[in-house]
Structure 1
Amino acid sequence: MSYRDFIRDPGRDCAVVAHRGAWHGAPENSLAAIQRAIDLGIDIVELDIRQSADGVLFLMHDATLSRMAGLDREAESCTMAELRSLRLRQGNGGEHQEVTDQRIPTLDEALELIRGRIFADLDLKDRSLFPQVAAAARRLDAADHIDLKTEIATQTDLDWVRAQDIDGIAFMAMARFTAENIQDKLALMAPLAPFMAEIRFDQLDTIAANRDHFRAAGMALWKNTLDQANSGGWTDTTALQDPDRIWGRLVDAGISCIQTDQPEALKTYLKGRRQ
């Protein structure tokens, strides 16, 4: 099954997205974190992509190597050989975390691992890498297992995406919807026909009241519940204390993909809702 087909399946449950991999027990953005997500039966893994000084695409969230590898240096100033010489810290890194045997993976290695096993949301830290990432996915026969995404707020954003060579790759729009702008935003996105939107919103009622419009546009809805400011109070910390208040309300409003740093807990919660 392709990523698009999975997302469009009307009978599927809410999809669980493991942010930077299932990193409780493995370094984030590592092959081990991807494998752990696969082993847990997670639907989608989110991965961060950068480019090395010698042009190799690799996985790393931060601009510097301090948190995950203990080196005070810009990640993209290193060659891939230099990056591969480092060992990643456990979990989400920091000085308190032990050093593991995991190395910084290339995008090629990640694509070979995910292909046919799990879907991947690729968060490019420089969106100009769209064509290179798409080419790598096509070369490794993983094009139907990934998405590429960027903010769509203006006609300029739309025109930029349309100019990229991403044929065969699922595109996810990132956007903020409010009661005042929702129809204009949907009209703006229409030429791209995104299979999904990573959304922020003024209030959840805006999304719930317009679910038929999203459905008519063929656009599934993705919401982050990460412990970050842009989650708008819809956080993992609150969800762990009261999952109905966060995850349950999102699902009831029509959200069908949730990205979390607690994928095991979300998977368990969703299974309980079905019983």
Structure 2
Amino acid sequence: MRKNFYKELEEKGFLIAAHRGSFGGSVIDNTELSAKVALAMGADIIEMDAIKSTDGVLYAFHDGEECRRFGIEENIKTLSSEEIDKLDYKNVLGERTGQKVNRLEELLLSLKGKCFINLDRSWDYLKEIFELVKKLEMEDQVIVKTHPTNEAFNFLKNNENKLMYMVIASKKEDILKFMVPEINMVAAELLFESENSEVIDTDFLNYLKSKNIRVWINSITLGSRFNLSAHYDDNLSILNNGEGWKWLIEKGADVIQTDWPILLKNLRKSL
């Protein structure tokens, strides 16, 4: 299942991950529509979030954004599938769109055979996620990720189904912990606030790559309180002729997650 991931990396140099798909206007993030827009804009990987209803149905949604997206105060994870299915997305103008929250199974099926899919915020439902991906026979497309918790380590190490995996980490020790034969680790999502962070030390990156662990870096600009890549981010890249993305590529990024896949694709074509 890792073979296609490495092959596409070799062919393209680095892969472009679209953060929650590509969205704006009345195209809502974490939906089939946002995924299709991202693919049309050149994304190789669609990053999506996952939640579970109180009665066990998986959906694609980033919880904590219910007020902005639906105008409700309740956390979506406290709702039943019947209640979630009635929710109506609001667009960027605050107008109702008639669009519903996508069930994760439906969304995955809409992307079957089309791209890689990275599931974020799914660490509380690893058992259910693994079962769903196996049921849909999409093991060669889906990459799950977690923070470096003991719970995640034990699950991944002991689960018979070995989905592609990526750890989210800002420390070397947290990455090395997951590099065991029992875990099908294909990448590490590196978080770093400065150029001197230990996780982007050149020798360490070379070591990871020698072990077939690819480097995922986020260029997304989430807001002033976030710094995921020493500020070599989307905004810097847009304002200064790709400066942020170029730095990440030179540093050794194998995957760059962005909110602007078409711009990054154009840069990749020019290199």
TM-score bin (small chain): 0.7 to 0.9
CA deviation profile, 1:40-85 (whole Å, cap 9, x unmatched): 3310111010001211000111235211122222211222222121
Cα 1:4–1:242, aligned 2, differ >3 Å: closer, same or farther?
farther
Determine whether 1:190 maps to 2:179. Answer: yes
Aligned to 2:212: 218
Aligned to 1:40: 41
Aligned match for 2:195, one of 197, 203, 214 = 203
The TM-score with structure 1 as length reference comes to: 0.85
Verify the 8 A CA contact 2:52 2:59 in the aligned structure 1. Answer: yes
Verify the 8 A CA contact 1:155 1:188 in the aligned structure 2. Answer: no
**After the TM superposition, which parts of structure 1 deviate over 4 Å for at least 4 consecutive aligned residues?**
154-157
Shift of 1:204: 6.2
Q: Secondary structure at the match of 1:172?
A: strand
Verify the 8 A CA contact 1:200 1:223 in the aligned structure 2. Answer: yes
Determine whether 1:159 maps to 2:150. Answer: no
Determine whether 1:146 maps to 2:142. Answer: yes
What percent identity do the matched residue pairs reach?
A: 23
Aligned to 1:7: 6
Aligned to 1:65: 66
CA deviation profile, 1:121-147 (whole Å, cap 9, x unmatched): 00125x230010111111112222111
Q: Secondary structure at the match of 1:72?
A: coil
Determine whether 1:254 maps to 2:255. Answer: no
Measured in 2, the distance between the counterparts of 1:217 and 1:193 equals: 12
Counting matched residue pairs gives 260
Shift of 1:166: 6.3
CA deviation profile, 1:89-148 (whole Å, cap 9, x unmatched): 23xx5xx343223210001111101110111100125x2300101111111122221111
Cα 1:33–1:187, aligned 2, differ >3 Å: closer, same or farther?
closer
Aligned match for 1:100, one of 65, 87, 97 = 97
Measured in 1, the distance between the counterparts of 2:90 and 2:265 equals: 26
Cα 1:243–1:256, aligned 2, differ >3 Å: closer, same or farther?
farther
Cα 1:21–1:99, aligned 2, differ >3 Å: closer, same or farther?
same
Measured in 1, the distance between the counterparts of 2:94 and 2:262 equals: 21
Aligned match for 2:113, one of 104, 112, 116 = 116
Aligned to 1:235: 233
Cα 1:236–1:174, aligned 2, differ >3 Å: closer, same or farther?
same
Verify the 8 A CA contact 1:4 1:195 in the aligned structure 2. Answer: no
Cα 1:97–1:271, aligned 2, differ >3 Å: closer, same or farther?
farther
Aligned to 2:18: 18
Q: Note the aligned Cα RMSD (angstroms).
A: 2.3
Q: Which runs of 5+ in 1 are unaligned?
A: none
